[in-house]
Amino acid sequence: MNDIDLVVALFLLGNLIVALLAAARGPTAADRMLMALLFGTTGTGILVLLAQVMNIPALVDVALVLALLAAIGGVAFARRAWQGDGHD
Amino acid sequence: MIRVLWWRGLLFACLWWILAEGRLDGWLLGSIAVVAATWASVALWPPAAHDVRLAALPAFLAFFLTNSVRGGWQVALMALRGRGALQPAFLELPLNLPAGVPQVLMTNVLSLMPGTVGVELVAELTNARLRLHVLHQDLPVVAEARALEQRIAALFGVSA
Amino acid sequence: MTDWLSGALLIVGAFFYAAGTLGLLRFPDVYSRLHALAKADNLGLGCVLLGLALQAESLAAGLKLLLIWPLALAASSAVAYAIARRADRLGVKPWRKDAP
């Protein structure tokens, strides 16, 4: 089973790179915030796959924490740091 | 109150069991964490305001799962067809749910349902409404949002 | 049988991730891109988690994997709402087909 796990993990990694580049290109600040979403979903996906492939169960905990931080960090950023950034 | 404490404590204990992957050597720390979590949950989310009806939970989860699969499939097809498949619009939806957790849950779940993303929840007392971004203006989003509203109302045992 | 199902779920998951990225590349404005990421990527994650949970050694380990999903869902919908709301407040107009 490890073969499929590894292939899917690498596939997601490629996906993440392409999506991050696309989000970073903008054009608006809102588009760049999409990167926070990408880490939350694709990032966790890669981590859980790697936990299985490399047999490091602790990576599942890392994925859990990452998903949690994606929620807290994203909302906090949008609520506070971004306020008053009128020039998009 | 005692009932609520019992249920929440049980929930956090299950959570700890999962997080510890069933190992038994961490239960001293675990019981402290369970007590702390129960205390924090009562402090932050006092019981009785909006309690979830466990009996309504399976139906809600089934509804959520089917519709998030539909939503993902639909947006995947649109992505394959490109921007020609889109006819986006903003839509204002009056909410019938009580303010607080039910409205927030509605807003968040709608972003995972087919065709809609919540843009702004206006939680006014008499005129609560939700601004939505819709991927295609011909999608039956209002009917689906009403169905979701009914499910959430049943989940919290309120009327909508 | 379990292996077969698990592999199939992983591949379906990868498909949804790819669709999310494709939507991000092809959709015209930030609101539509939110749809692609919030829905397709989350479904992709759900499939991958379920696929891996089928391979898990114990019930608790499998449930732990599945526990990530509601967290990621909450994260995505909260962040998507925050982004859409800020974009709207900042005056980002949604893309219209008739007015390019």
Q: What's the confidence (pLDDT) of residue A49?
A: 92
How far, in Å, CA of C10 to CA of B148, rounded? 29
Read off the amino acid at residue C64: K
Read off the amino acid at residue C100: P
How far, in Å, CA of C33 to CA of C26, rounded? 8
Whether residue A9 lies within 8 A of chain C, CB to CB, comes out as no
Q: Would residue B93 be called left, alpha or beta, if left means φ above 0 and alpha means ψ between -120 and 50 degrees?
A: beta
How is residue C65 written in tokens? Answer: 């994997």
Give backbone dihedrals phi and psi of B45, rounded to 5 degrees, phi first: -135, 80
Which residues of chain C fall below pLDDT 70? 99-100
CB atoms A49 and C48 under 8 Å? yes
Evaluate whether residue C96 is within a structural domain.
no
Q: What's the confidence (pLDDT) of residue B42?
A: 85
User: pLDDT for B5-14, tens place per residue?
Assistant: 888 899 999 9
Beta strands in chain B (DSSP E): 89-94, 116-122, 129-134
Evaluate whether residue C26 is within a structural domain.
yes
* Strand order across the B129-134 sheet: B89-94, B129-134, B116-122
Evaluate whether residue C52 is within a structural domain.
yes
Q: Which of B18, B69, B79 sits opposite C60 (nearest CB)?
A: B18
Evaluate whether residue C99 is within a structural domain.
no
Total domains present in chain C: 1
The pLDDT mean for chain A works out to 80
Q: What's the confidence (pLDDT) of residue B48?
A: 64
Q: What's the confidence (pLDDT) of residue C77?
A: 87
Which residues of chain A fall below pLDDT 70? 1, 74-75, 77-88
Evaluate whether residue C14 is within a structural domain.
yes
How is residue C42 written in tokens? Answer: 């989350």
Q: How far is B111 from chain A (nearest CA, A)?
A: 13
Which residues of chain B fall below pLDDT 70? 48-50
Q: Which chains touch A (3 or more CB pairs under 8 A)?
A: B, C
Whether residue A34 lies within 8 A of chain C, CB to CB, comes out as yes
- Residues in B lying within 8 Å of C, measured between beta carbons: 15, 17-22, 68-69, 71-76, 78-80, 82-83, 86-90, 107-109, 111-112, 114-115, 117-121, 131, 133, 135
Q: What's the confidence (pLDDT) of residue C99?
A: 54
DSSP for C4-59 reads HHHHHHHHHHHHHHHHHHHHHHH-SSHHHHHHIIIIIIHHHHHHHHHHHHHH-SSH
How is residue B26 written in tokens? Answer: 């961490």
Q: What's the confidence (pLDDT) of residue A77?
A: 65
Q: Which domain holds residue C24?
A: 2-89
How is residue B125 written in tokens? Answer: 């007392």
Q: How far is C1 from chain B (nearest CA, A)?
A: 23
How far, in Å, CA of C42 to CA of A87, rounded? 31
Looking at the DSSP assignment, which residues form a beta bridge with residue B26?
Answer: none
Q: What's the confidence (pLDDT) of residue B61?
A: 93
Give pTM, 2 decimals: 0.87
Q: How far is C65 from chain A (nearest CA, A)?
A: 7
CB atoms B75 and C35 under 8 Å? yes
ipTM: 0.86
